[in-house]
Chain A
Amino acid sequence: MRTPLILLLTTAIACALPAVLESGYFINVAIIALIYVILASSLDIMMGWTGKFSFAHAAFFGIGAYTAAMMQRSFGTDLWAHLPAGMAAAALFGVLLGLPSLRLQGHFLAIMSIAFQTVVYLVLAQWTDLTGGHYGLPVEVSPELGNVSTFYFVTLGCTLVACLFVWFLTQSRFGDTLTAIRDDETLARTIGMDTNVIKIVAFAISSALAGGAGVLMAHHIRGVTPNDYTVMTSATIVAMVVLGGRGKFWGPIVGALILTILPEVLSDLAEYKHIMYGALLIFMIMVMPQGVVGALTGRKAK
């Protein structure tokens, strides 16, 4: 139970951030960093804990964001309605990708997820009547959330809940089952685990969290465009998980924070960030495949 306490403590400290950072710009960066923490942690449920690839996480991120924008366009709803709806929509699509992926491993799964990511992107970019095409759709934020500090606290709260959820999930029997599937799926089945159901549920949960992150993002940047949800965004999230360490609670969190804050701090680097992510992926895999947190804690620590 130490981890949740550290998490609460970190969050408490993070509450002071808007007071310290006078510039709204840095609060914006902090919001983006938090959104990516949710994305990386939720991807790690699949990549790290279950050992299943997904290069489609940005698709679920986008599905959440577009759900918010389209709901608001049709019904004039606000963030609190969009969050559950965006998560549900993303979960639904997660199941949709999960079902045909059940029998797939390794390369095939990677290809399947990239294909899915591409289909979602093409639909978002080309079904103009529904999605606004390349120009996307606007999203309005209700006045009480309009202040950037307020939105920061909302995002911080959501991130805390998401991270706690991931921690409890991975420490529970469900997490043990995911680890079992990662280590040896055939064995997991022969000791009586219904691995198909578990994998589908894991797909749905992981996608739902990404969808929630998408809703936050849509409100934060006040709109959606398809180019925010491409395979490059998926690459970024994968890079965060690999950098921090797969299958470690703090891994994706640390990875997401480093990769969103670093390009801002070294602002000359910002325009090279995708080059950096690509190089980093290769470098980490070759030199430190267990990630920063993995390297620091060693393999026995849980």
Chain B
Amino acid sequence: MVSDLVLLPQFLTNGLVIGSGYVLVAVGLTLIFGILHIVNFAHGEFYMLGGFAAVLGSQLLGLPALPTLLVVAVVMAAFGLVVERVVFRPLGGKDPTNAIIASFGLSVLLQNLMLKTVGAEPMAVKSGFAPGAIQIGNVFITAERIAIVAAMAVIVAALLLVLRYTWTGRALRSLSENPTVALISGVNVRRVSLITFVIGSVLAGLSGALMSTVFMVQPNSGALIVMKAFIIVVVAGMGSIEGAIIVGLALGLIESLVAGYMGNELRDIVGFLIVILVLAVRPQGLFGLKTERS
């Protein structure tokens, strides 16, 4: 038992790292849902593409860490722009069923396209940091892992500031929280939708790039991550950004503890059992408001 507790700080640290990756993906997903009212089933593939964009930057172009992230952001922004324009805008406002099926199709398409172009072998993203773990007390951690947590904190803080203090950010928030009022006060829905989708794509891509320095990237990397993001967004309540941050970190911690104390094979299942439970009992999520439709 004593040795178990000695490992606790290590497990918590690992959980924090994974949770940070989840947060970035989930925040984008929830943002897109809040504004466009679509659940993007291809969001995990955006994460995966971010990982490959980072491979492109760090391996093929030999760029250092920050410029690589910049490349990822630019690539993902462009990609998000195209997808919103070509797929989701034309489907907007119609039967949500169609957007669900189309985004599911997009997910299948992207995953298999990458499989054909780069193959199934996992690829690593080079961070350029000194190898080896740093020891802090009982905890061992690599520079990449620290960077993931730090980057997540910076990106999320920046996002929250943008949402609070810029005109676009406020328009975005108001459209998500009170569409009628936002429309009356002249918010340009199309523009805000586009911006939201682009932000969501960039966040997912950055997460993919960061996480791939530790876990490597392959065409199906996004499949499980998007599931985790769904879990987080559903548990937090669709559209709740703060909720997604809290639940995202919590899921990372829970998974890490489960893997550490109960066995690795249970790690992924726990989240799904939580989501099935939450959906069954409180479909609006822990932080969502209850709305009954009649």
Chain A interface (Cβ < 8 Å from any Cβ of B): 51, 53, 55, 99-101, 103-104, 106-108, 110-112, 114-116, 118-119, 122-123, 126, 186, 231-232, 235, 238-239, 242, 271-272, 274-275, 277-282, 285-286, 289
Contact = CB atoms under 8 A, between A and B. Distances in A.
A115 B87 CA distance: 25
Nearest to A235: B108
A275 B227 CA distance: 21
A112 B273 CA distance: 10
B269 A278 contact: no
B104 A55 contact: yes
19 contacts: A99-B280, A107-B38, A111-B275, A115-B231, A115-B272, A116-B272, A116-B276, A126-B265, A274-B112, A275-B112, A275-B116, A278-B112, A278-B113, A281-B101, A281-B102, A282-B106, A285-B105, A286-B90, A286-B102
A111 B234 contact: yes
B138 interface: no
Contacts, number: 124
B97 interface: yes
Q: Could you tell me the dominant secondary structure of chain B's interface residues? A: helix
Interface string B91-113: 10001111011101111111111
B109 A110 contact: no
Most buried by B among A115, A116, A123: A115
B105 A281 contact: yes
Interface residues of B, number: 46
Given A115-B272, A119-B273, A275-B113, A239 B105 contact: yes
Contact of B105 (A99, A119, A282): A282
Contact of B100 (A53, A99, A116, A280): A53
A107 B33 CA distance: 10
B199 to A, nearest CB: 20
A115 B227 contact: yes
A238 B116 CA distance: 22
A59 to B, nearest CB: 12
Given A115-B272, A118-B224, 4 more contacts: A51-B97, A115-B230, A232-B108, A275-B112
